[in-house]
Structure 1
Amino acid sequence: MLARRALPRLQQPSSHCPSHFYRRAYSKTELGNGVNIAYDLHEPPNQGDSRENAPPIIFVHGLFGAKKNNRSISRVLARDLKRPVYALDLRNHGDSSHHPRHDYNALAEDVELFLQQHRLKDATLIGHSMGAKTVMAVALRNRVPIANLIPIDNAPVDAALSSDFPKYTQAMRRIDETTITRQSEADAILKNYEESLPIRQFLLGNLSRQDDGTHKWQIPIKILSSALDNMADFPFTDPDVTRFEGPTLVVRGTKSRYVADEMLPVVGRFFPKFELVDVEAGHWVVSEKPEEFRKAVVEWLQDKE
């Protein structure tokens, strides 16, 4: 295991995504289980610079997130690593379809089927929070071959979610019960539950304007509210039975509690080749410190090539 190290804070580039960067409009894939998964495909800005048959990167968001939250970092990783990056919307999020089942085995199956249907081999799986447990579950289920794994600020343990998440669903339900015609009206309600403007903006990104001029949630609040206990759990409990032997980079925020020091022995038993990088941030590592995160991932993946 790599010793903990705090990355130096670097000045963030003035532009994450050059204007000539190539990105297709989002697409959807109907999986064999009936779920439609929406995704953005980010490719290097100069196709002539991309490596032939370069292994793909799959980027998965957290609870209440979406592919659009990872757009900037996906573009940067595609540019720096000259690899295609698929940013997914998991079921019940973003532009993907809704389904009453929402647990880590179901989410992992969606990712596995996506990889199979797109014939993506030697993939690097990156996931934040809920996405981190999802990609760890994919690795441990061992139903599709993957090259390496980068879980961000979550551990393979049963651990209660922050009390903020039930609070968010309560606020979202209240907004859903109100006729909202402007996003500022929803924000005024949400402000009673969350003081942080960036977090409120993150949550409000799930609002969608309807034909009648009202704003409604694009995500199924009832399904996700009922799934909060599932999101706290992890489907694997015995690392003596199953483990992932491939390279794994655990990125954690030093101000977050989701990957506490006492969890590291369990991480090591499930992922014996894991390395650890600390970023001076809270739970929202990528959005809080994008340059530190980029540097850690790019250096680690280049070292694995």
Structure 2
Amino acid sequence: MSALCRLIHRGLLSGRSSFRLFPGQQDVCGVAPCLRTASSCSPLNLTYDVLDGKGESTPLVFLHGLFGSKSNFHSIAKSLVQRTGRKVLTVDARNHGNSPHSPMLTYDAMVGDLKHLLAQLHIEKCVLIGHSMGGKTAMMTALTQPSLVERLVVVDISPAQSSTRTNFHRYIKAMQEVKISSDIPRSTARRMAEDQLRTLVKEHSVRQFLLTNLVELNGHYGWRVNLEAISANLDDLISFPSFNTVYEGPTLFLGGTSSAYISSEDYPEIQRLFPNADIQYIPDASHWIHADKPLDFISSIISFLHS
């Protein structure tokens, strides 16, 4: 085992004898993809799902938020394929879902991963739809690679600092403290994990969302997200780089009225970077708009595509 791999094992697995990271397929280090690493300059090969539409219009590409996965948009994607005829791509970000893990978790790296994936799939231009962290990746892609983005949808996030509006530090701490015995039924493991999360994560819907990351292999339970990388990079993830460039394409910022992630204080920066942006809100929707109000979310996307 290489020195790097030994550090990975020691740093990520110490003190976790009853609660392991998900050990899926083997990689060059002989460890799970959750522990896979890559050089900071190399894009990762992301996992994705493609739903093929019969139309020839520009494909839609969905980018999920922190602690999410491509499955968050599965039903949304199916509906949009049926209603628009477009190809729809849902993507697992690095350190999330089934995509490889890396200590590097920056927006620059995630833009590089996305650019690499679109090139692999011969997608020269797309409608990019990103939620939260995925929305920031989408904004940065549009600002740095505008030729790739025909239209942009940013879901409940803005190009502003979101540190005062987030509880992600608390979520990470709660997930890191979870301990689950081996060789118990999945239903029992899930119940144990939720009971332990409840101390720091009061909202039932948020606990259920975090629990989508609980996975099992050979009787051992763990989180498929790379908590170490998320924790180490969280300050960067809840900020946004400064840009002097603009994205001139049609843009929709879609917020939830029960969320504080797009406020009137953000409007000047939105309009500076995205001069053709429209800002809309979906009533009674929280930060997870697509989960709270899927039909309204789909209707907003379709209206924007036709605008």
Task: Tell whether 2:200 aligns with 1:200.
Answer: no
Provide the TM-score with structure 2 as the length reference.
0.82
The answer to whether 1:104 aligns with 2:97 is: no
Amino acid at match of 2:161: D
Q: Which residue of 2 aligns with 1:255?
A: 258
Structure-1 residue corresponding to 2:44: 35
State the 4+ residue runs in structure 1 displaced beyond 6 angstroms: none
Confirm or deny that 1:58 pairs with 2:67: no
The answer to whether the Cα contact below 8 Å between 1:161 and 1:231 also exists between their aligned partners in 2 is no
Q: 1:145 aligns with which of 128, 134, 148?
A: 148
TM-score by length of structure 1 reads 0.82
Within 5 Å, which residues of 2 pair with 1:256-275?
Answer: 256-275=259-278
Alpha-carbon deviations, 1:152-188, whole Å to 9, x = none? 011112231544211110111111x543641111111
Q: CA deviation at 1:197?
A: 2.1
2:12 maps to what in 1? none
Q: 2:167 corresponds to which residue? A: 164
**Are 2:131 and 2:154, in contact at CA under 8 Å, matched by a contact in 1?**
yes
**Alignment RMSD, CA only?**
1.8
Pairing partner for 1:131 from 129, 134, 139: 134
Match for 1:299 among 292, 297, 303? 303
1:103 deviates by: 1.1
1:228 maps to 234
Task: Give the match's secondary structure for 1:90.
Answer: coil
Partner Cα separation in structure 1 for residue 214 and residue 158 of structure 2: 30
Kept after mapping to 1: 8 A contact 2:152/2:252: yes
Q: Supply the AA of the counterpart residue of 2:297.
A: F
The answer to whether the aligner puts 1:85 opposite 2:88 as a matched pair is: yes
The residue type paired with residue 216 of structure 2 is R
Aligned length: 263
Question: Any gaps of 5 or more consecutive residues in structure 1?
Answer: 1-29, 45-49
1:74 Cα deviation after fit: 0.9
Q: How far off its partner does 1:285 sit?
A: 0.8
**Match of 2:197?**
190
Structure 2 gap ranges (5+): 1-37
How far apart are 1:225 and its partner, in Å? 1.1
Larger % of helix: which? 2
Per the TM alignment, residue 192 of structure 1 is displaced from its structure 2 partner at its CA by 1.2
Aligned-partner SS, 1:278: strand
